[in-house]
């Protein structure tokens, strides 16, 4: 659990924010306030960073506005109550738990690499997480679930999927929630999570819309679905608030970022990359 005073400060800091602000934007504000309230944030030994991570994950969840009554004390149950105005079914709550596990770490994704660079400079854990959150929201990373969410929202019935995909192809746009730089033959995380959602809500119109998009992508021989599309389907079926998939992704990945940070703290050297000049040839200076 997060300390009460720090949690109260994080809640208060959000009062001036727009009510319709995306959860990911709120998480950045919450992280900043929790860090400023933690006098132990510069303790970088493994035990201290682990304790900070537990407080931070709890605080990120509990400082979000409450939309429904929490059904329990687990992180998944508390997060659900911040993202959805309706109580969860057991099967959909299990899908959220699975998403939190599947998304906890993924090697050197862009946000994790950025977090490691910050940690190598001995930035405190809150600064490391802020770095990760800043990168995560990009539309080619965790923000892809928000793009997939908007795609599904356009499709009120399965017959509209072909047109929604075709319009994006015509405009030369990426189809959000499809393709992955690592998984050329499909993202196994996305397949697993999507199967959980289908089993949790058989016959749901949002599942039908998602499957129609999948079929259209396969018909066009375009890239297969990834974890972001599965997240978008989960949040749509659950009736969650706008941007909920990004929030699930972010809360899950905090654990991974801090695990990577502990490796950098132990390594003790700055992760300093080098660049090669590729501009116009230099001209000799007149003597």
pLDDT per residue as tens digits for the range 29-71: 999 999 999 999 999 999 999 999 999 999 999 999 999 999 8
Q: What integer pLDDT is reported at residue 142 of this predicted model?
A: 83
The residue annotated as part of the active site, out of 180, 187, 224, 260, is 180
Q: 180 catalytic, yes or no?
A: yes
Give the pLDDT confidence score for residue 1 in this predicted structure.
74
**C-alpha span between 260 and 161 (Å, rounded):** 40
Q: What is the pLDDT of residue 244?
A: 97
Active site residue 86: no
Which domains, from first to last, does the chain contain?
Answer: 1-268 (1.10.230.10)
- Of 98, 57, 38, the C-alpha closest to 253 is 57
pTM for the predicted model, two decimal places = 0.93
Please tell me the predicted confidence (pLDDT) of residue 182. 87
- Nearest-CA neighbor of 227 among 99, 83, 105, 104? 99
Local structure of 231: helix, strand or coil: helix
> Which residues of the chain are modeled with pLDDT < 70?
none
Do the Cβ atoms of 246 and 23 come closer than 8 Å? Answer: yes
Q: One of 141, 224, 228, 260 is an active-site residue; which one?
A: 228
CA distances from 108 to 12, 261, 264 (A): 35, 12, 13
């Amino acid at each position: 659990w997060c300390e009460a005073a720090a949690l109260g400060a994080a809640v208060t800091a959000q009062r001036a924010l727009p009510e319709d602000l995306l959860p990911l934007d709120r998480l950045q504000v919450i992280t900043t306030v929790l860090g400023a309230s933690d006098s132990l944030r510069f303790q970088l030994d493994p035990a201290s960073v682990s304790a900070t991570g537990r407080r931070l994950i709890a605080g990120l969840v509990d400082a979000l506005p409450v939309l429904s009554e929490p059904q329990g004390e687990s992180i998944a149950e508390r997060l659900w109550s911040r993202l959805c105005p309706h109580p969860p079914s057991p099967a959909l709550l299990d899908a959220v738990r699975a998403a939190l596990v599947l998304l906890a770490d993924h090697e050197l994704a862009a946000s994790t690499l950025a977090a490691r660079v910050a940690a190598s400079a001995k930035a405190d854990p809150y600064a490391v997480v802020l770095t990760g959150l800043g990168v995560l929201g990009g539309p080619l990373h965790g923000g892809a679930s928000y793009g997939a969410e908007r795609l599904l929202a356009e499709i009120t019935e399965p017959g509209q999927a072909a047109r929604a995909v075709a319009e994006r192809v015509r405009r030369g746009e990426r189809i959000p929630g499809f393709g992955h730089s690592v998984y050329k033959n499909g993202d196994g995380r996305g397949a697993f999570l999507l199967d959980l959602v289908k089993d949790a809500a058989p016959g749901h119109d949002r599942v039908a819309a998602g499957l129609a998009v999948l079929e259209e992508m396969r018909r066009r021989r375009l890239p297969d679905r990834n974890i972001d599309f599965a997240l978008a389907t989960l949040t749509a079926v659950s009736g969650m608030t706008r941007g909920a998939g990004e929030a699930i992704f972010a809360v899950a990945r905090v654990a991974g970022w801090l695990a990577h940070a502990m490796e950098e703290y132990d390594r003790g050297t700055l992760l300093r990359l080098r660049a090669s000049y590729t501009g116009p040839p230099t001209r000799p200076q007149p003597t």
